[in-house]
């Protein structure tokens, strides 16, 4: 066994359930990320791993599980949209987080100026050009250069302790 393999084994000593429980104690916002396949089919997912990366140029990152139905589409997309959710979007967040469902079958969605699906009445919408993708364990970190912003109003939905919450 190489030294690097030994280090990786030692790092893997953290039980997945312990790591999951620790991360559940970190509150985060909730977004829906969308794109279109080459044939125009919309794809998307719910994420709580989202943050800004850079102000100049404006960039964001979002983490996508490699096992997600939409992962192949995001591996190849040139652009994507991010919608920041409010508490009223809970059903939509659950729908986009559920594997195997038709995420675009119901109402609550609109189109960005570039024709990407977005969440109606989102707190903000970001249009992004895909900038980079980085493998990270069982996820891919997708970095986007923000090319457009639209602002809504309201308070955020928060993901904490494995559930959607609102701020008091």
Which residues pair with residue 129 across a beta bridge?
A: 79, 145
- What's the mean pLDDT in 69-84? 96
Coil vs helix vs strand at 11 = helix
- Looking at the predicted structure, is the pLDDT value of residue 12 above 70? no
Rg of the Cα atoms in the chain: 17
- Looking at the predicted structure, is the pLDDT value of residue 63 above 80? yes
Q: What is the pTM of this model?
A: 0.90
Q: Token pair of 37, please? A: 């396949």
Return the DSSP state at 40: S
Residues 41, 34: contact at Cβ < 8 Å?
Answer: no
pLDDT digits (tens, 9 = 90+) for 78-97: 999 999 999 999 999 999 99
Q: What pLDDT is recorded for position 48?
A: 94
Which of 88, 65, 80 has the alpha carbon at shortest distance from 157? 88
């Amino acid at each position: 066994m190489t030294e690097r393999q030994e280090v990786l084994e030692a790092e893997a000593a953290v039980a997945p359930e312990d790591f999951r429980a620790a991360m559940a104690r970190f509150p985060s916002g909730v977004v829906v990320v969308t794109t279109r396949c080459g044939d125009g089919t919309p794809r998307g997912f719910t994420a709580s791993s989202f943050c800004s990366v850079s102000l100049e140029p404006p960039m964001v990152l979002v983490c996508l599980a490699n096992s997600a139905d939409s992962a192949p589409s995001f591996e190849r997309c040139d652009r994507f949209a991010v919608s920041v959710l409010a508490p009223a979007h809970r059903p939509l967040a659950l729908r986009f987080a559920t594997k195997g469902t038709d995420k675009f079958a119901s109402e609550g969605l609109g189109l960005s100026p570039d024709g990407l699906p977005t969440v109606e009445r989102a707190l903000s919408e970001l249009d992004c050009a895909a900038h980079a993708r980085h493998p990270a364990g069982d996820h891919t970190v997708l970095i986007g250069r923000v090319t457009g912003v639209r602002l809504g109003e309201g308070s955020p939905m928060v993901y904490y302790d494995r559930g959607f919450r609102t701020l008091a």
